[in-house]
Structure 1
Amino acid sequence: MIPHHTLTGPDDAPVLVLGNALGTTTELWREFSPPFRLLRFDHRGHGLSNAVPGPCTIEALANDVVELLDHLGLRQVYYCGVSLGGMVGMWLAAHTDRISRLALVCTAAWYPDKTMWDERISTIRELGMEPAADAIVSRWFTPSFSPAVVSHFRSELLKVDVPSYLACAEAVRDMDLRADLAKIDVPTVVIAAAQDHATPPDVVRHIADELRDSDLYIVGDAAHLAVVEAPRTISVILDGHFWSD
């Protein structure tokens, strides 16, 4: 499946692919403007991407990105992913040669305790997205962050195709990328957020510790969607990583 996408920025700049968190769309990057040619895309059933019936895996979501790169004639790219987008990035870097530099933001390689995911999936399957929305969004932002922005992202979450959300949530719950970390040999920057309760800094630090070539940064005043709460800080980190020789 070729996801909905936009490709913007200077034609002579490196292409940076931006992978979204579960339940978010390309809106995740609306305050984000590093000096790259930015390829934004929506996961299955998110934003303007078509829903794909049935279950999926991180591998399947990563192969959607490969199809997109092939469609655009892009051989190698930089890649930055948040949460689910980061999981997709890890798989791509471990199993393909399409990623030359990688950035992983507020993500995990494995969830040993799947209780939260089981409960969320059960609630949404039985009652729909609305009863779960507040709990999901409360993990995305710090309590003092802009209510208007929080409300906007909640509204975007409610537009996601529910079966697609559930399929992606099950893919996250069931994934185990720990063995893949040893296969990643591209320079990688790993970014955690100090107030992230969805993927706490220790979880993110484990990824950095297992990679061959990585740097770890912890952003202070942000939660899970740190690219929304601290876009300038993260842009500086990414600029330093992707423009380095």
Structure 2
Amino acid sequence: MGFVQLADGELNYQLDGPEHAPVLVLSNSLGTNLHMWDVQIPAFTEHFRVLRFDTRGHGRSLVTPGPYSIEQLGRDVLALLDALRIERAHFCGLSMGGLIGQWLGINAAERLRTLVVCNTAAKIGDPSGWNPRIETVLRDGPAAMVALRDASIARWFTPDFADANPAVAKQITDMLAATSPQGYAANCAAVRDADFREQLASITVPTLVIAGTEDAVTPPSGGHFIQEQVRGAEYAEFVAAHLSNVQAGSAFSERVLDFLLAEKHL
């Protein structure tokens, strides 16, 4: 664990794996923290120096006044890489982390070796869905976060997985209840306002798109759209809801590693 000092506060990060291995950055989803990737760490650290961080407004990172933008969050990633003197890295982000990855692919391709975007879309939802959530969270604070936690199990996991793995589901959804209401609302606005549909074709770094068959938040159609727009992008789909990295576990890790370790990407 460590902190990088940004202009307006500290960004929490964690490094695991061999010191001189290529760096793989993992970017969390809305309402989680860097520990959403715990299941991937044993496999990923066999080959990579894994850099995880809590997105601004989440976990132990800074909470600044909102609204945020995906550009702002993407620039936080660049500041983190700069502070750790990492010139180029592989990047894997899920949901909101996938939006950050798209921004980086469009605006900072020279810093990326490869790009993996999971359970995401070029545009996620619309203001009619996001604005009431933002208003409720800012009004009701921690009570709203607990309510969101209870509702998130059905969005993040399929019922059979949640029933068979209650401890895992609780560990992940408890991250949401522990998230700062102000930080969560500010990040909701960033997701609400992001729209990369007209810019995806400018992404030139090798890209893998991952989707979940049962993902109601970002359905496979959004992943297919990204794949179609990004020249040469690969696509994989798992039987999972929104957090496919948790639900698909080792199968997710193996597919990502197959992509990252392809000779042309090293």
Q: Which residue of 2 aligns with 1:205?
A: 224
Per-residue Cα deviation, 1:146-170 (whole angstroms, up to 9, x for no partner): 1111112222111111111100001
In the TM superposition, 1:128-207 aligns within 5 A as 128=141, 129-145=145-161, 146-207=165-226
Over the matched positions of the two proteins, sequence identity in percent amounts to 41
- Tell me if structure 2 keeps the 8 A contact 1:186–1:213: no
- Give 1:125 shift: 2.2
Structure 2: gaps of 5 or more residues: 1-5
Greater helix percent: which structure?
2
Shift of 1:112: 5.5
The alignment covers a number of residue pairs equal to: 244
1:61 aligns with 2:80: no
- Contact 1:102-1:187 at 8 Å conserved across structures: yes
Structure 1 length as normaliser, TM-score? 0.95
Gaps of 5+ in 1: none
Q: Which amino acid in structure 2 is aligned with residue 144 of structure 1?
A: D
Matched, 1:92 2:104: yes
Give me the whole-angstrom Cα distance separating, in 2, the residues matched to 1:141 and 1:64: 29
CA–CA separation in structure 2 for the residues paired with 1:176 and 1:54: 18
**Aligned-residue offset at 1:115:** 2.5
Indicate which of 38, 49, 56 corresponds to 2:50: 38
Q: Check if 1:6 corresponds to 2:6.
A: no
Q: Tell me, in whole angstroms, the C-alpha distance in 1 between the residues paired with 2:67 and 2:155.
A: 25
Query: What stretches of structure 1 move > 4 A for 4+ residues in a row?
Result: none
Instruction: Report the counterpart of residue 240 of structure 1 in structure 2.
Output: 258
Within the candidate set 191, 209, 218, 2:237 is matched to 218
Query: Would you say the 8 A contact 1:190–1:217 is kept in 2?
Result: yes
Equivalent AA in structure 1 for residue 62 of structure 2:
N
User: Residues 90 and 180 of structure 1 are in contact (CA less than 8 Å); yes or no, is this contact kept in structure 2?
Assistant: no
**Cα distance in structure 2, aligned partners of 1:112 and 1:31:** 28
Q: Once the 2 structures are TM-superposed, how far is the Cα of residue 213 of structure 1 from its aligned partner?
A: 2.0
CA distance in 1, matches of 2:124, 2:117: 16
TM-score, normalisation: structure 2 = 0.88
Following the alignment from structure 1 to structure 2, what is the Cα–Cα distance between the partners of residues 136 and 103?
A: 24
- The AA in structure 2 aligned to 1:168 is N
How many angstroms apart in 1 are the aligned matches of 2:212 and 2:148? 23
Show the counterpart of 1:24: 32
Query: Take 1:10 and 1:231, find their aligned partners in 2: how far apart are those partners?
Result: 22
Look up the match of 1:79. Answer: 91
1:184 CA displacement: 0.5
Is 1:51 the counterpart of 2:102 in the alignment?
A: no
Report whether the alignment pairs 1:125 with 2:141.
no
Post-superposition Cα deviations, 1:65-95, rounded to whole Å, max 9, x if no partner, equal 0000000000000000000001001101110
Q: What is the aligned counterpart of 1:228 among 246, 250, 261? A: 246
Distance (whole Å) between structure 2 residues aligned to residue 20 and residue 139 of structure 1: 16
Q: What SS does the corresponding residue of 1:217 show, helix, strand or coil? A: strand
The answer to whether residue 129 in structure 2 is matched with residue 116 in structure 1 is yes
- CA RMSD in angstroms comes to 1.3
CA distance in 2, matches of 1:184, 1:67: 21
State the distance in 2 between where 1:116 and 1:55 align.
16
1:17-46, Cα deviation, whole Å (9 max, x unpaired) = 000000001111111132211000001121
